[in-house]
Amino acid sequence: MAEQEGIALVDLDENGVDRAFRADVLDGLAARQKAIPARWLYDDVGSDLFEDITQIPEYYPTRAETEILTDRGKEFATKIAPGCAVVEFGSGSSVKTPLLLKAIAPGAYVPLDISGDFLREAAQDLAAKFPGLPVYPVEADFMRTVDLPAEVAATPKLGFFPGSTIGNMVPRTAVDLLRSMRETLGEGAQLLIGMDLVKGRDILEAAYDDAAGVTAEFNLNLARRINRELDGDIPTEKLRHIARWNDDFARIEMHLEANEAIAFSVAGQEFSMRSGETIHTENSHKFTRRSSKLLLEAGGWTPQKRWLDSGKRFSLLLAEATEPRKAP
Ligand code: AVJ
């Protein structure tokens, strides 16, 4: 398995504590608006809870994107280079990736993931479903440029980034990622990327605050994870899950709000929250036709085609690497 030279993907201290997690949490809890990067929501418990979220009635994005991948396969095949290497950013979901691979008859599949375990599982799954398809998993942090396996050096590339995961990033981070994807995939590459659409506040807030409370559990798991892994004593029963539409930034924000004034310690440091104070735990940006294309353009990708599901809730965009600019 190819690994980026000299970069330890997970850096544990002598007690087995993830140093990057601890640094992000201690910084984030000391900030005026407390905030912790959303990537820390996805430990094993959080990843399982997210799988459950994709099944709840209010959370439409997974079903909507799956519908597009199921129904528009013929159109993908006419727009995407045959025999291309599909490079998936984040190891594949067992449902979406096979739908794409079936539609376009690719020459290779290259899943990229920071977690070797997820990666090996996904790669084995896919290899079993597509005998004869070369699979080259790469353990890497795809927020940086990745060296792809030599076996696909001469093969045209299709980047695949489903799920509207790009929406978890603020615009400058999203642009950085799109540019590094372009760098990774090279001149002439294409990108197939999911972006969830702006819609009524009620539908969006319900999708991130479901009646069964699964999303609340997903959010609260972050506080429990801090207690588990960073020797914390956050009184999680005094926190509640909030999902609120921020119209200025066109995004759903998840927060953990203190029901009353609380004090706690994490990794030996003391923190407090006033009643009503929040920890910001996730952004999920939503896009319009124009904002999705503007983001792609800013990241060095020229939009080629945009597909919507029948309910017009979710978009899947195909783009090609923009040629180096001449004028203006
Ligand atoms: C995994 C980023 C697609 O933002 O919709 C779902 C994560 N958070 N419910 C999203 C999430 C709360 C999800 N993504």
pLDDT at 93: 74
- The percent of residues in the chain predicted with pLDDT above 90, rounded, is 85
Burial class (CB in 10 A: 0-12, 13-18, 19+), 153: exposed
DSSP letter at 323? P
Please spell the DSSP secondary structure of 106-137, one letter per residue: -SEEEEEES-HHHHHHHHHHHHHHSTT--B--
pLDDT in tens, 111-167: 999 888 888 888 998 999 999 999 999 999 988 999 999 999 999 999 999 999 999
Q: Whose CA is nearest to atom 13 of ligand 1?
A: 165
Ligand 1 site: residues with CB under 6 angstroms? 53, 61, 163-165, 167-168, 208, 215, 218, 282, 284
pLDDT at 2: 47
- pTM to 2 decimal places: 0.94
Give which of 214, 165, 169 is closest to 58, Cα–Cα: 214
Nearest residue (CA) to ligand 1, atom 12 = 208
Closest atom of ligand 1 to 218 CA is: 12
Choosing from 209, 251, 282, 314 the residue with most ligand 1 atoms within 8 A of its CB, the one to mutate for a pocket test is: 282
> What is d(CA 82, CA 182) in angstroms, rounded to the nearest whole number?
19
